[in-house]
Amino acid sequence: MTLLVTGGTGFVMSVLVREWLDHDPQARAVILDRSGLDTMAERYFAAVRDRLTVITADILDSNQWSRELDDHDISLIVHGATITPISRGSATEARRQPEAEDPARIMDVNLMGTVNVLEWARSRDTVKRFLYVSSGAIYRHHGPDWAGEPLPEDGYVAPLTLYGISKFASEMVVNRYADLFGLSALSVRLSSVYGPMDRATTSRNFRHVPNRVAHMALAGEVIRPNSLEPVGDYAHSVDVAKAIIALLTAPCLRYRHYNIGSGVTSTIGDVITWAKEKIPGLRVEVSPSETANMIQGTELKDGMWGAYDLARIERDTAWRPRSGKEAFHDYMDWIVANESDAAAGEGL
C-alpha cells in the first residue's frame, strides 16, 4: 500500500512517513514537497529509504508533479503541505507578525494547494482515503461554555489569523469534494505538536513550550518563563503520526473532523518539572516579559489553548495518547540520541 504525504520533508509529516514505513515492511510512501530532504531528514529516513520516493516540486504547479504521481499507485493521501506563519516565544519574536510579510502566499499555498491535490485525487480510482491536516488554529480563543470541558469538534470555530482561516476554508473544500466526488475524506485538527524532527524549515519556524524546555534543559541554559501558569495541549509528533495512521486505516469513520492532541492541558511549570527529573540541576527564573526567554499569555487557558476533546478518534480507532511526562521524556531521550551530531554540524 502506497501513501502520498505532501509536505513530507517537514516536521510532523516526516514523522508520519517514517511511522508508516516502520509499521509495515511492505508499505511504500511518496513525499511531495517543495523542499528536498535536509541532512537530518536523510539520516531519519536512512533505514527505510529504499521504500520512499521524494518528489521535489511546488504544490501550486500540478504540471510539475501530477504525471510522476501517476506512476506510484497511490491509495492513501495525507495533505500536510502548508505555510505556518507563527511567531511566539521570546519578547522579540512576539512582536513579529509573520503573516504580514507575504499574506497572499499563505492563502495561495494553504488553500489552493489543497484544491490542487484534491483535483488530482478525485480522478484516481486507486485513492481510497484523503486526510487533510488542519489545526487547532481554526478554533476560538475561548470555549467551551462550561469550565473544565475539553474542546469538541462541533462549534467554537472562529479563526482569527490567515493561517487559521486558510485551514478552515480548506476543511470545507475537502468536505465539498468528498460529497461531489464520493471521496472518503476527513480533516484532523492538531493541538500544539512537538517531538522528533521538530526543527526550522522553510515553511515553519516555531517551537512549542516542550521543545524549548527540552533543548534549554539539555543545553544547561537558565529557563526564564514569564510565568509557570500558561497551559497548552501538547502532543508528541510520534503520537500524532500514529493517530493519523489509525484514521487512515480505520474500516469505518463516522465523522469528517477529528481532534488530535493529548486530551489534557499541561502548564509550563509541569513541563519544567518533567525536565528536572532528567536534569536535576536545571535552573528556572520567572522573569518579566522584557527579559523572559519563554513567553506565553497567562490568559490563554481554554478554546484553542485548552484541552482537546478526543472522544471521536477514541470511538473510531484504538489509538490513545501517552501521558505528558512519558512523551516528554521520550523526546528528551530522542534529542540526546539524534540531535547531538547534527547540532555540532548544523548549528542547531
What does the DSSP 8-state code read for residue 31? E
Nearest Cα to Cα of residue 84 among 137, 160, 41, 39: 137
Tell me whether residue 28 is in a domain.
yes
Which residues, listed in sequence order, are joined to residue 33 by a DSSP beta bridge?
56
Whether residue 35 has pLDDT greater than 60: yes
Pairing status of strand 28-33 against strand 52-56: parallel
- 187 close to 134: Cβ distance less than 8 angstroms: yes
Region 25-35 average pLDDT: 96
Which residues are within 8 A (CB) of 256 and not within 5 positions of it... i.e. 6 or more apart?
171, 174, 175, 178, 185, 186, 187
In a domain, 79, yes or no: yes
pLDDT at 217 over 60: yes
Q: What's the length of the chain?
A: 348
170 domain residue, yes or no: yes
Give the E-state strand segments of 226-265 in sequence order: 231-232, 234-236, 257-260
Count of the separate structural domains present in the chain: 1
- Domain range spanning residue 57? 2-197+234-263+308-324
Question: What single-letter amino acid sits at 313?
Answer: I
Task: Give 58-108 pLDDT, tens digit per residue.
Answer: 999 999 999 999 999 999 999 999 998 865 544 455 566 778 888 999 999
Q: Enter the DSSP assignment of 195.
A: S
Residue 289 located in a structural domain: no
Nearest to 264 by CA among 301, 312, 298, 294: 301
% of the chain at pLDDT higher than 90:
85
Whether cis (ω within 30° of 0) applies to the bond prior to 225 is no
Which whole number is the average pLDDT over 19-48? 96
Residue 255 lies inside a defined structural domain of this protein: yes
Percent of the chain residues topping a pLDDT of 70: 94
Question: Would you state the pLDDT for residue 100?
Answer: 86
- Kindly state whether residue 227 falls inside one of the protein's structural domains: no
- Quick check: is 276 in a domain? no
Average pLDDT over residues 258-278: 98
The CATH number given to whatever domain includes residue 259 is 3.40.50.720
> Taking 80 as the threshold, does the pLDDT of residue 171 lie above it?
yes
DSSP state for residue 10 in the 8-state scheme: S
Q: Is the pLDDT of residue 245 over 50?
A: yes
Residue 66 pLDDT: 96
Q: Is residue 119 part of a domain?
A: yes
pLDDT band, residue 202 (cuts 50/70/90): confident
